[in-house]
Amino acid sequence: MDAANGCGSCDLPFTKPQVVVSRGNPQACLMMIGEAPGAREDELGKPFVGRSGKLMDRLMESVGLDPDVDAYICNVVKCRPPKNRRPTLVEIASCRPWLQQQIELVDPYVIALAGSTAVEAILGIKGGITKLRGQWQHWHGRLLMPLLHPAYLLRNPSPADGAPIALTRSDLNEVRHRLKQVDRCAVVPMLDSSRRRLP
Ligand code: SF4
């Protein structure tokens, strides 16, 4: 994916040249796809490292998923849109070959789609993320789990049962449960000090 650094397929690199490809484990059974890099991601060159990404990390950890070991994390669009605006359909389509290449290389058993842009980009379903979240989808032989976007969770921080954060934890728990049922994806509990890191 280093080739993406020289990509000029859409106008985004002319506004900000950082290409943010991925973090995590390319051999993971779980792939998390978000929308686009924000300011912090652009600065560090890694996806999901700003406030919302850290919240998603904590939620993953709370259900026993290590974001750096059990997941490969990326975005639909690899360059930061100006002022964090939503990427346009042209930008999403321009960046799609890179995303497709990532999916083929990682070959994930489960793809978690964080937010409506990721759902629309992969499944072509526009809107309705609050109804779609938590509902398994099937796509080209893979299981997909739509999730609420962590930026939305930051704006809705209630810890109450049934609130967005609790719902997302439940959805991630469902993901972990599904991964555990597949031999090659078995997730070692976070508290196990003998946890083996994948190569
Ligand atoms: S957003 Fe994607 S298509 Fe556009 S320049 Fe960056 S890597 Fe290329």
Tell me, yes or no, whether 196 lies in a domain: no
**Ligand 1 atom nearest residue 7's Cα:** 8
Tell me, yes or no, whether 104 lies in a domain: yes
Distance 164 CA to ligand 1 centre (A): 31
**CATH code, 106:** 3.40.470.10
Residues in the ligand 1 pocket, defined by CB under 6 Å: 4, 7-10, 12-13, 19, 77-79, 91, 94-95, 98
Domain carrying residue 144: 2-182
Tell me, yes or no, whether 199 lies in a domain: no
Structural domain total, the chain: 1
Take residue 153 and report the two structure tokens written for it.
Answer: 């969770």
> Can you list the residues of the chain whose pLDDT is less than 50?
189-199
Strand order in the sheet with 137-139: 23-24, 71-75, 30-34, 110-114, 142-147, 137-139
Tell me, yes or no, whether 197 lies in a domain: no
Tell me, yes or no, whether 194 lies in a domain: no
What pLDDT score does 108 carry?
97
Distance 22 CA to ligand 1 centre (A): 13
**Ligand 1 atom nearest residue 97's Cα:** 3
Tell me, yes or no, whether 198 lies in a domain: no
Determine the residue of 19, 20, 89, 102 to mutate for testing ligand 1's pocket, defined as the one with the most ligand atoms within 8 A of the Cβ atom: 19
- Compute the distance between CA of residue 160 and CA of residue 157 in angstroms, rounded to an integer: 9
**Ligand 1 atom nearest residue 87's Cα:** 1
Tell me, yes or no, whether 192 lies in a domain: no
Handedness of CA 59, 63, 69, 72 (dihedral sign): negative
Indicate the DSSP class of residue 79: B
